[in-house]
Structure 1
């Protein structure tokens, strides 16, 4: 999922693990809050790849936005990128067919389905049996709201 001709990852390789690790509390918060409101679904993380200076995801803040997408809207969301020409029909169909069973069977008390979007690429991550669960992430963020308030809305 490394965007071509990009220097922003700076850590010379697969940056997603560090990114997820550094942002797990807000990802888990978003997943649990979304599940409580809408039921099963996925967390969409849109990572800003327009950063122009070299960035190490372990040390630097990488801008991103999070949203929870209920299961009944996942196909619509992915097809909208197909319609705009960002992903092919076969990739879109493949992603929908792989995400749908996972959404139906994941344990929202322990797992998170995360779609990382770094224009123009998508990556689906199944975060399984987390040491800090989505409900724990939610509570941690709520208790330390002032740390997270700039990037999250209540």
Structure 2
């Protein structure tokens, strides 16, 4: 899922692992907060691929937004991108059929379902048996709120 016309100089090929690693606390915070409020669901991470300067996700801050979608809205969310022509039905239908069983069975105390959206591509990540659990991420972000507040505000 490498954005075309990429100026992300340090990301030759698969950049997602570094991105997730560097932002795991806020991803876990979002997942746990969402689970506490709505039950099972998916963290959606919309990565800004319009960065115009050379970028290395290990070093540079890459703009992104996070939201939590409850399980009953994920199909609607993905289909809205299909209907808008951003993803094809051949991608959307298998993605929905694979993500719904994962939502029903993941352990929200230990795992995160993450959809990375980097226009126009989507990638589903199952972050399983994390060493830093979503409740731990939530606690760390809350304890260090001044560090994270700017990235968690709309």
Aligned partners of 2:8, 2:77: CA distance in 1, in Å? 26
Q: Could you list the runs of 4 or more consecutive aligned residues of structure 1 that deviate by over 4 angstroms after TM superposition? A: none
Maintained 8 Å contact 1:116/1:125: yes
In the TM superposition, what is the alpha-carbon distance from 1:134 to its structure 2 partner?
Answer: 0.0
Q: How many residues align?
A: 154
Alpha-carbon spacing, 1:143–1:48, altered in 2? closer, same or farther (3 Å):
same
In the TM superposition, what is the alpha-carbon distance from 1:8 to its structure 2 partner?
Answer: 2.2
In the TM superposition, what is the alpha-carbon distance from 1:9 to its structure 2 partner?
Answer: 5.1
Maintained 8 Å contact 1:8/1:55: yes
Maintained 8 Å contact 1:41/1:69: yes
Aligned partners of 1:69, 1:127: CA distance in 2, in Å? 16
Matches within 5 A, 1:110-149: 110-149=110-149
In the TM superposition, what is the alpha-carbon distance from 1:151 to its structure 2 partner?
Answer: 1.2
Aligned-partner SS, 2:151? coil
Aligned partners of 2:8, 2:61: CA distance in 1, in Å? 11
Aligned-partner SS, 1:21? helix
Alpha-carbon spacing, 1:111–1:9, altered in 2? closer, same or farther (3 Å):
farther
TM-score after normalising by structure 2: 0.97
Aligned partners of 2:14, 2:40: CA distance in 1, in Å? 28
Q: Deviations 1:42-85 (Å, cap 9, x if unpaired)?
A: 00000000001110100000000000000000000000000100
Aligned partners of 2:47, 2:152: CA distance in 1, in Å? 15
Q: Deviations 1:87-135 (Å, cap 9, x if unpaired)?
A: 1112110100010000000000000000000000000000000000000
Kindly report the root-mean-square deviation, in angstroms, between the aligned alpha carbons of the 2 structures. 1.1
Unaligned runs of 5+ in 2: none
